Amino acid sequence: MQVENRNVVSFEYVLRDKETGEVIDSSAGNPLTFLVGANQIIPGLESRMIGMKEGERRTIEVPAEEAYGEVDPNLIQQAPREYFQGIDLEVGMPLQAQTPEGHVISMVVVDFDENTVTVDLNHPLAGRDLVFDIEVVHIREATPDEILHGHAHGQGGIIH
């Protein structure tokens, strides 16, 4: 069996920054499981896994535009310092806010002064070309329920 649409695939991975070689993440013995075609992992990784077989290992390079996108300067914004009362701010500090609709927004503090805080709302991996060292450990056909629900049931997680 090989990786194709509507299969449930489990794989081990080590994720590195292409430019620096820095290890960003790894499955560390806990394979990631996803439903192919359900947009559960970054598109550049999923498309490059198509056709792989169980037990196959591969190094896959994914350019930023097929991973988390390029850095969008419009997502670097300033907000009044009063919105951050009671927070001991530091440059590089990750923060979260909630919209009135209940959506969680992640951001990183880029700069601040007594009146304004500049935050970056881009994904932390935006603008970075990525390298995945992967091994496909299991492939099976998805059940009708998994296809209906748009995700694999059972073990695993999702790279967002």
Task: Give me the pLDDT at residue 156, please.
Answer: 46
Local structure of 102: helix, strand or coil: coil
CB 47 within 8 A of CB 60: no
Residue 28's CATH number: 3.10.50.40
pLDDT at res. 158: 42
Task: Tell me what pLDDT residue 137 has.
Answer: 97
Is 29 within a domain? Answer: yes
- Cα–chain center distance at 100: 24
pLDDT of residue 153: 85
Q: What does the alpha-carbon distance between residue 48 and residue 62 come to, in Å, rounded to a whole number?
A: 9
The answer to whether residues 40 and 93 belong to one domain is no
The total domain count for the chain is 2
Residues 38 and 113 reside in one and the same domain: no
Which residues, 6+ apart, have CB-to-CB distance to 90 below 8 Å? 109
From CA 127, how far away is CA 71, in angstroms rounded?
Answer: 5
**How far is the C-alpha of 10 from the C-alpha of 145, rounded, in Å?**
18
**What does the block give as tokens for 154?**
């059972």
Domain limits for position 47: 7-68+126-149
| Residues 56 and 87 reside in one and the same domain | no
Based on the fold, state whether residues 11 and 64 are members of the same structural domain. Answer: yes
Place of tokens 């439903």: 35
Give the pLDDT of residue 113.
Answer: 95
d(CA 140, CA 145): 14
Q: Is residue 159 part of a domain?
A: no
pLDDT at 99 (0 to 100): 87
pTM equals 0.81
In this structure, is residue 82 part of a structural domain?
A: yes
3-state secondary structure of 113: coil
Would you state the pLDDT for residue 154?
A: 67
pLDDT in tens, the chain (160 residues): 999 999 999 999 999 999 999 999 999 999 999 999 999 999 999 999 999 999 999 999 999 999 999 999 999 999 999 999 899 999 999 999 888 999 999 999 999 999 999 999 999 999 999 999 999 999 999 999 999 999 888 654 444 3
**Structure confidence at residue 39 (pLDDT):** 92
- CATH number for the domain including 97? 2.40.10.330
